[in-house]
């Protein structure tokens, strides 16, 4: 028996609960709900209890798992499909799939229902299994392993496919789940060395570019002139510390951080700063 819920569109927060006696009925019900376009596509996800809202807390067990193959190299496509045929289920190309860049969603039957955590654990193993076989040639988006994550339904004209292998043997697979990893120590010597080297490079480059303003009063980093200051809406007062380079510390996972309080810079991270500095030093070297 397959329990699932179907949302009418991405905005539907109380998807209707359905049950199908067989995989064939499940596939038929899902595949008949074709959408005209991506915007109006409905979704399938786990069944929900309580008030029926699509949420993590309401998720109920389900005997299937959705794989979101978000990128498949065309050269690996046939092998990927062959791999899938070892399992039982069905799938369809996503709305953005093209022959040059195939993407697909696959519903895989499980030997027994799993709860949300088990589904995610199984999903991690599935992803590992695919990575072992395909490396980067097949990229899996792990989101759909979450019970409450919408798995969007096919568009009209999408060619579904059916997999006639075996359901995934849940007890056998779950027995392989590694024990939870202990919390990482504050910083391994390796991470610290890496973060230090990166930080030295950034400080050195900012210094050479004349962007290093002064050490922060709290000793946790440097005030810097923002490389993106031309995008700021307001100019900083002299001596302001709206833009800062922070040394490795617990709060930034011991990796160091870049912080600019100007709205345009909110999403910018240390990696963006590094990229700008590298590009500048490459230009200087050229």
Note the residues at the interface with Zn ion (CB under 5 A).
226, 228, 260, 262, 265
The pair of three-digit structure tokens given for residue 43, joined into one six-digit string: 């979704």
Closer residue to Zn ion, CB minimum distance, 141 or 272: 272
Closer residue to Zn ion, CB minimum distance, 62 or 262: 262
The pair of three-digit structure tokens given for residue 266, joined into one six-digit string: 């909110």
Residues 6 or more apart whose Cβ sits within 8 Å of residue 19: 1, 2, 3, 4
DSSP string for residues in 252-278: GTTS-EEEE-SGGGTT--HHHHHHHHH
Shortest distance in whole angstroms from residue 30 CB to Zn ion: 47
Closer residue to Zn ion, CB minimum distance, 244 or 260: 260
Closer residue to Zn ion, CB minimum distance, 149 or 252: 252
Shortest distance in whole angstroms from residue 65 CB to Zn ion: 43
Q: Where are the beta strands (DSSP E) in 102-235?
A: 104-114, 138-141, 151-152, 161-164, 212-215, 221-224
Shortest distance in whole angstroms from residue 260 CB to Zn ion: 3
Shortest distance in whole angstroms from residue 252 CB to Zn ion: 18
DSSP helix/strand/coil, 29? helix
As a whole number of Å, the end-to-end CA separation of the chain is 65
Nearest to 146 by CA among 58, 265, 51: 58
Strand (E) or helix (H) holding 93: strand 88-93
Closer residue to Zn ion, CB minimum distance, 80 or 258: 258
Shortest distance in whole angstroms from residue 216 CB to Zn ion: 16
Q: What b/e sequence results for 245-279 when a residue is b if at least 16 CB atoms lie within 10 Å of its CB, and e otherwise?
A: bbbbbeebebbbbbbbebeebeebebeebeebbee
Closer residue to Zn ion, CB minimum distance, 195 or 245: 245
């Amino acid at each position: 028996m397959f329990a699932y819920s179907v949302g009418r569109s991405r905005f539907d927060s109380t998807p209707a609960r359905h049950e199908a006696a067989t995989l064939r009925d499940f596939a038929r019900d899902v595949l008949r709900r074709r959408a005209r376009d991506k915007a109006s596509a409905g979704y399938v996800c786990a069944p929900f209890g309580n008030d029926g809202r699509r949420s993590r807390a309401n998720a109920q067990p389900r005997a299937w798992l959705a794989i979101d193959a978000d990128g498949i190299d065309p050269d690996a496509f046939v092998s990927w499909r062959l791999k899938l045929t070892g399992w039982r289920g069905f799938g369809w190309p996503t709305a953005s799939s093209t022959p040059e860049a195939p993407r697909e969603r696959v519903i895989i039957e499980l030997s027994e229902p799993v709860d949300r955590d088990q589904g995610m654990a199984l999903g991690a193993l599935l992803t590992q299994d695919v990575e072992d076989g395909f490396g980067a040639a097949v990229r899996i988006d792990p989101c759909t392993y979450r019970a409450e994550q919408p798995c969007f339904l096919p568009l009209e004209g999408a060619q579904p496919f059916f997999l006639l292998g075996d359901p995934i043997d849940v007890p056998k697979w779950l027995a392989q789940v590694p024990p939870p990893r202990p919390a990482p120590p504050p910083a391994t010597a390796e991470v610290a060395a890496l973060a230090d080297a990166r930080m030295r490079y950034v400080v050195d480059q900012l210094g050479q570019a004349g962007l290093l303003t002064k050490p922060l009063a709290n000793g946790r980093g440097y005030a810097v002139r923002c490389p993106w200051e031309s995008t700021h809406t307001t100019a900083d007062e002299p001596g302001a510390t709206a833009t800062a380079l922070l040394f490795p510390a617990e709060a930034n996972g011991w990796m160091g951080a870049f912080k600019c309080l100007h709205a345009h810079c909110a999403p910018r991270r240390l990696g963006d700063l590094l990229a700008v500095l590298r590009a500048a030093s490459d230009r200087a070297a050229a």
